[in-house]
Chains A and B, each alone.
Chain A
């Protein structure tokens, strides 16, 4: 082990600061300021403990105002070398996040949240790989490697069992790598077996194979873990065209659509408030299970008129509703009577400890996505809730934790509908019933604040919009510092991850995925290799 890997290079000394505002660190004259970067980790060697922190700002200082008015002649390299770090110097703003005490008990307990500051002139050095490992853990049966910190080779690991106990979020502008990170996290959850996954895969990215901007196509969950993942689809034809073999084709019966589902689609189906009201009245008239079918069955003008009068529904509201619901009728997976109970099938798979990816095929319309995700989730959640309650009462095993992945989350969780959708309830009630969400979104500001604040671990890629940034960082300590870090992320593959499953915020470069090696690291074996291994084992046996 060489010196620098055990102890990172010295950068400077603490010259001031506060716990809330972060520490001011004056750089040594030998430390080149242009090699510093926000988001990077440093260790401050206090008198009794070490402080682990993150660089949140970098600034230039001058010892005398006069220097800024009559600058020295730095075209002369000698003068430039002399004044660097003496008359002019670099300063870092470091937010201390964790303390690592030197005594044996604290070494066992691991890093603790910071409650004080290091004393004046404590030396500051780059965090070494060992330091980072001490903080983020080592890849093992609980920790899944998601990426590396900035300019380091160390692995940042996510504590998966902790991760799944809360609802989580992945945010970022389009094309920054949300899908990529989500796929990695899903793989992590499948690999560690911490939770069953139900993934509403709007763009057919996670199941069989996904697209990537660098390599032609990357393997999806089913290819990596064929025996643990079941591929469901809404659109058999699309799957066939893509040469993807699916395990089950989902159909939804009219009887499974409830008025709340339509209310949720108010915006996307362009329905008016009275039209939604009419849906509830129809449900009262025909019954929860039969209302949609009853509505479609209205054929004659007289019959319709009679019903509208009876329900006090205005003609224009009826027409508005009709136009909206006709759109649903055209969806091939919606049938008056489903031939099988899709929810039951999904639950069966989930109960067997398998993970279900529901592909939407060509139905990439948000209306379909919201409708299907809501219908299925509501019923799955009901079942989970029932089982959990039974488990509490009868001391039987609790159901296996379930993580539901949804994209375009602001459509489900915006302030107008968050109270009505099942997702709002799951996000709020969280882990009580062992069901949590993994929400993926590019407009986090569209998500209801109350839900945003309940998310455990958030990962965010670059965001431009001030409102989105505020929304993601809401309630996080050191928000303004993290804001600087967030706005300086690279456009791709760099994410700021913080929250429950990590001891402190971290900027990671997401781990490589898509090459043969990366698949191997994740436990994938080519068929030929598996065969060879099997043959060897047979040989050993006899």
Chain B
């Protein structure tokens, strides 16, 4: 059973934002997560995570001057875990309808309050069997797009017995997609090499 890690709190066609149930425990950058809009399962790649105050008008203040241990701050101020929250943003990279997986945007964005699950290795393998979704990540406006791609490939490779072969295959795909931008290709390759 896949681990449920949060809930969608903001959804749009190309991305959705989810709030984690546990403070400070967002899924790792680049990991594949899944939610649904009642008919289709939507896959997303985590591209950003943040922890901030629930009330945008009230910024947290530093409280640990006299503490020796960080954890003590939370123990002394149990309300903190209620006033802060961790959210993460994902880029929608594909969806599943029945048994078919499509590596392009879903017809509709997920529902708000849809549960978000971290994908199991089985799902990861199934989804990354084709690397067509890389074009979506490459085209993302995020400044950290290259970091997201490399993190995503590194994590996905862990789902394979022969992770190197997977990464070489992905590298080749990138080499074709980034044939006109060799510097960018090199920087991604350096981040995924084993």
Contact = CB atoms under 8 A, between A and B. Distances in A.
Interface of A: 29, 63-64, 66-67, 70, 72, 76, 78-79, 81-83, 85-87
A85 B193 contact: no
Q: Is the interface of A mostly helix, strand, loop or mixed?
A: loop
Nearest to A30: B172
Contacts of A64: 179-180, 182
B186 A82 contact: no
B171 interface: yes
Contact of B189 (A63, A67, A70, A79): A79
24 contacts: A29-B172, A63-B175, A63-B179, A64-B179, A64-B182, A66-B182, A70-B182, A72-B186, A76-B193, A78-B167, A78-B168, A78-B194, A79-B193, A81-B168, A82-B168, A82-B171, A82-B174, A82-B189, A86-B172, A86-B175, A86-B176, A87-B175, A87-B179, A87-B182
A87 B185 contact: yes
Interface of B: 164, 167-168, 171-172, 174-176, 179-180, 182, 185-186, 189, 193-194
Contacts of B175: 63, 82-83, 86-87
Contacts of B194: 78
A67 B189 CA distance: 15
Nearest to B179: A63
Nearest to A83: B175
A114 B190 CA distance: 48
A81 B171 contact: yes
Contacts of B171: 78-79, 81-82, 86
A30 to B, nearest CB: 10
B189 A78 contact: yes
Contacts of B174: 82
Of residues B176, B180, B185, which shows the largest number of chain A Cβ atoms within 10 Å of its Cβ?
Answer: B185
Contacts of A72: 186, 189
Q: Sorted from nearest, which 4 A-B pairs have the closest CB atoms?
A: A82-B171, A86-B175, A78-B193, A81-B168
A86 B172 CA distance: 6
A72 B190 CA distance: 11
A81 B172 CA distance: 8
Contacts of B167: 78
Contacts of A70: 182
Given A76-B193, A79-B193, 6 more contacts: A63-B179, A78-B168, A79-B171, A79-B189, A86-B179, A87-B185
Contacts of B179: 63-64, 86-87
Nearest to B192: A78
A82 B172 contact: yes
Contacts of A76: 193
B185 to A, nearest CB: 7
Nearest to A85: B172
A78 B172 contact: no
A443 B194 CA distance: 58
Nearest to B169: A82
Contacts of B186: 72
A82 B167 CA distance: 9
A304 B194 CA distance: 98
A188 to B, nearest CB: 49
Of residues A70, A76, A86, which shows the largest number of chain B Cβ atoms within 10 Å of its Cβ?
Answer: A86
B193 A67 contact: no
Contacts of A82: 168, 171-172, 174-175, 189
A87 B178 CA distance: 9
A352 to B, nearest CB: 70
A479 to B, nearest CB: 36
A412 to B, nearest CB: 60
A86 B185 CA distance: 12
A78 B193 CA distance: 6
A79 B194 CA distance: 9
A32 B22 CA distance: 51
Contacts of A63: 175, 179
A63 B185 CA distance: 13
Contacts of A86: 171-172, 175-176, 179
Of residues A67, A70, A79, A82, which shows the largest number of chain B Cβ atoms within 10 Å of its Cβ?
Answer: A82
B172 A67 contact: no
B59 to A, nearest CB: 44
A79 B185 CA distance: 10
Contacts of B185: 87
A76 B185 CA distance: 15
A76 B190 CA distance: 10
Contacts of A79: 171, 189, 193
Contacts of B180: 64
B84 to A, nearest CB: 40
A87 B182 CA distance: 9
Nearest to A70: B182
Nearest to A84: B172
A25 B130 CA distance: 25
Contacts of B176: 86
Contacts of B182: 64, 66-67, 70, 87
Nearest to A80: B168
A338 B147 CA distance: 99
Contacts of A87: 175, 179, 182, 185
Contacts of B168: 78, 81-82
